[in-house]
Amino acid sequence: MSEKYVSPRYQDASAELGEQIRQADAAGSPLRIVGGDTRGFYGRTMDGTPLSLAAHRGITHYDPVELVVSVRAGTPLAELEAALEAEGQMLGCEPPRFGEGSTVGGMIATGLSGPRRPWAGAVRDFVLGTRVIDRAGRELRFGGEVMKNVAGYDLSRLMVGAQGTLGVVSEVSMKVLPKPAASASLHLDMPLEKALDRLTEWGRQPLPITAAAYAAGALHLRLEGGASSVAATRERLGGDELKDGFWQALRDLNLPFFNQDSRPLWRLSLPNHTPPLSLAGETLFDWAGAQRWLKSDADPDEIRAAASSAGGHASCLTPGTAEPFTPLAPVIAKYHRRLKAELDPNGIFNPGRLYGDF
């Protein structure tokens, strides 16, 4: 593939988007930024004129040798991953899709990563640069297309997880990774306490583990790397072969655990080796226990207090939740408001998506 590869479905709608944004800012009219609209459940409900990036799509540059790709925000993740697959490469952060229409812009806006995150890195770790359309309709470039260009105050990575509240990310440049030569997934029946102990023990060893989850009374592992390393580790750890599709279903929150009932779904982010928390409900352990999915009717303050006391935080992914994210500490909230006021003084970019006063 040419290092100047351009997607056959390349479309540049930056001028039209910039004009819509400029007019909205002049009128003080809020915008609700959407791509495939598959991640609308994540964050607070907000009103605003839809600003669709669906037509702003395509891979603008891909160099498989340098492991760098630049892609417009409206590009479906499936399209990007297919292009990488053809070159034996992948997005190391293993972003969830939540639907066939899931886009690169949604991946950046939410900053959510899949099962490989603790071993390969989060979405933010792979971002090299961005193009952002500001309130005046100008497309500004931050960062670059190689790691050495990322220096100083990195506004590109600040956009990851900002839910579009600071500006419209129109394009992103990312580092990609080669696909592993071999892969195997294991199912090991054991109690939770033993599984957590094993994960702590194995975490100190150079084992080719790239995913670890505990669900339905069993530890699930994914091994990736050289063929000999994967084979030797598989023989050492034992267990049964895990059926295909488990990690994709976990990535996209499609396992039976997530759909079993209407109780709110919580995401708990905790330090490594945190013991089980005393909370009502059922828990699925991901990221070797650092990320936990909780289905619970417990009081939100109780859940957040338990996560906070363990050194972590909790977010609710159930649509319509009044305050899905843990409130910011006063000092941090002050800096968030100042940054928002500097980049979006008229409050047009997804106002209230993260917090009611942001």
**pLDDT at res. 145:** 63
**pLDDT at res. 320:** 84
For the segment(s) 14-178, the CATH number from 3.10.20.30, 3.40.190.10, 3.90.550.10, 3.30.465.10 is 3.30.465.10
10 in helix, strand or coil? Answer: coil
Q: Is 102 exposed, middle or buried (0-12, 13-18, 19+ CB in 10 A)?
A: buried
Q: Is the confidence at residue 182, as pLDDT, over 80? A: yes
Cα–Cα distance for residue pair 306/127, rounded to 1 Å? 32
Residue that wins the pLDDT comparison between 148 and 159 = 159
Question: Each residue of 225-242: pLDDT tens digit?
Answer: 999 999 999 999 999 999
Residue 16 binned pLDDT confidence (cut-offs 50, 70, 90): very high
Q: What is the mean pLDDT of residues 326-330?
A: 92
Q: C-alpha distances in angstroms, 91 versus 15, 41, 132, 270?
A: 29, 23, 21, 24
**pLDDT at res. 147:** 44
- pTM confidence score: 0.92
Cβ-based neighbours of 183, under 8 Å, separated by 6 or more: 222, 223, 224, 230
Q: Is the confidence at residue 10, as pLDDT, over 80? A: no
**pLDDT at res. 153:** 55
Question: Each residue of 204-229: pLDDT tens digit?
Answer: 999 999 999 999 999 999 999 999 99
